Structure 1
């Protein structure tokens, strides 16, 4: 027997507008689009009407996305007034798009009539420019979290999760996390069984928890152009030693105050949080690559006990070490 459709009527087709713009990231547009249209396909096989009417909209009738792909779009004027969900894509052109008065006004007006609004990757900059993230918690691609926080101080930027749900606003991290976000929206509308079926059809993890961190911290904090990349490598080699603010600032050749300020500006977190992330990342690798018990992993990674490891892992990844190993190991 097919699972029962839950929160919305099976006779209701909800309009989903996905905003695109020049130099939008292609997968930010097509990823959520595919999730919603695949949901409709699955419902059709069960003799049910589509749950979503999905449109890609822009200020013109076509845009050129990353890679030179041309996407046919519905112009703003033809989009109509009724809407359920607005999804803002991200990409290299997001900042410029957010500065366009016509687009910003359209987003504001569209958001007023929508049940919920979501952004993928740097699409958060467009929502922030429209004032829709003021006083809210939000996330974007890890490379741009510090910039989003600096540019829009009224937004509480959390660089850790892959997506965040704050009231009617959803924001997600980089690129493929838009698929996770869209799956979460489908689950909210139609229930978990339908969402799981969609995820299996798309051969993706069904679904990564929103509070799972943007993997991996080794990538996030060790990019070659990262100001503290060398320090992070040193931390990785000294996880069981004294990693106090004083020692880290001495290692970086700065005063404690300057080091704390610059570290937060660069990474979006405090030095203490940065050390914790390095330790948790090391523990994560051991969970995946070894059969070490948690007690041994805690000792290897500089945690005082299994419980301290568990609490730190929960803060960073949203799940405990045991659950993480069972899910991803």
Structure 2
């Protein structure tokens, strides 16, 4: 049986436990239980969640485990010496050591992320970089696997992480079956971004929504403010003001953001050359697209494709 120990800290969100549902339903789908899941805390006993629900936990154990996961919290909490010692002693000896959301801070405090690529929730990336400037943080990733260390962005990404663990243990078909049972799209790989530029725009009026739809359908064309203003039925000045009010950004930055996302998807999902992708998404040339990628992701399209293939 595969032993999984899940560490929680006071004030953790109930959502973080959703990652354990993958192991639960894998056990229900198999002829006999495959995973032995234990929920631990520093001293055991009842631990209150951020919503006030109390969960009974077991204290840290010296027994070895196959997979050790430290769950996230609603904020960055101090890593106690006892927790750090447990992570070092038990985590290093385990086959897999994982962290969800702010759990990455505990692994970093314990010195277990040196030389590793990691991720955490986008809301905590600036804090993480400030505290651990020497660590290789991949900001816009759902989850990252680097050797035996697994890190996930947020609590929902923890489900993607454990589905990937399940696939590694029992194969793709089992992972897909569990994902189907949980009504989860089992296509969210670790390389998927945490956020989508489509989600950042929330226009209130139909005319601005129509403009965004027009942009997405015509990325390969020259999209000037005058062109977009005509779609909206406004003067360029009225349009720029209305667009900024409703989306929080300028038309030019919105167009670049949509082009960057479309290009990223093509880089990850197609075999088109970087040059062709730059043309198809309206950048025109590779250098212009490279600068936009640097601004958006901190790395070039070539580096992103190389990482995806790896």
Matches of 1:58 and 1:299 in 2, distance apart? Answer: 53
Q: Secondary structure at the match of 1:66?
A: coil
Q: 16, 20, 23: which is aligned to 2:11? A: 23
Contact 2:8 2:39 in 1 (8 A): yes
2:177 is aligned with 1:194: no
Mapping 1:90-239, distance limit 5 Å: 90-96=72-78, 98=79, 100-217=80-197
| 1:110 to 1:204, Cα distance in 2 relative to 1, 3 A | same
Question: Contact between 1:22 and 1:93, CA under 8 Å: does it hold in 2?
Answer: no
* Distance in structure 2 (CA, Å) of the matches to 1:143 and 1:87: 20
| Contact 2:166/2:175 (8 A) holds in 1 | yes
1:41 equivalent to 2:28? Answer yes
Give the TM-score normalised by structure 1: 0.65
Q: What is the deviation of 1:85?
A: 0.2
Question: What TM-score do you get using the length of structure 2 for normalisation?
Answer: 0.68
* Aligned-partner Cα distance in 2 for 1:120–1:301: 34
CA contact (8 A) 1:24 1:94 kept: no
Indicate if the aligned counterparts of 2:19 and 2:155 stay in contact, CA closer than 8 A: no
Give the equivalent residue in structure 2 for 1:289: none
After superposition, the Cα gap between the structure-2 partners of 1:86 and 1:94, relative to the gap in structure 1 and judged at 3 Å, is: farther
> Which residue of the partner structure matches residue 52 of structure 1?
35
SS at the partner of 2:37?
strand
The structure 2 residue matched to 1:315, chosen from 284, 304, 309, is: 304
Name stretches of at least 5 consecutive residues in structure 2 with no aligned partner.
203-214, 224-253, 266-274, 294-299
Contact 1:137 1:156 in 2 (8 A): yes
Distance 1:73 1:177 in 2: 23
Q: Does 1:67 align with 2:51?
A: yes
Aligned length: 244
Aligned-residue Cα RMSD (Å) equals 3.7
- Whether contact under 8 Å (1:313, 1:319) holds in the other structure is no
Corresponding residue number in structure 2 for 1:266: none
Secondary structure of the equivalent of 1:73? strand
Task: Tell me how far apart the structure 2 counterparts of residues 275 and 89 of structure 1 sit (CA, whole Å).
Answer: 37
The answer to whether the 8 Å contact 1:212/1:319 transfers is: no
Separation of aligned partners in 2, 1:108 and 1:278 = 43
Offset, 1:88: 0.8
Is the 1:138–1:157 contact (alpha carbons within 8 Å) kept by the matching residues of 2? yes
Equivalent residue for 1:88?
Answer: 70
Deviation per CA, 1:19-52: give whole Å up to 9, x if none.
Answer: 0010112211x11111111110000xxx2x2111
Q: Is the 8 A contact 2:62 2:90 kept in 1?
A: no
Give the CA deviation at 1:123. 0.7
- The separation in 2 between residues aligned to 1:218 and 1:125, in whole angstroms, is 29
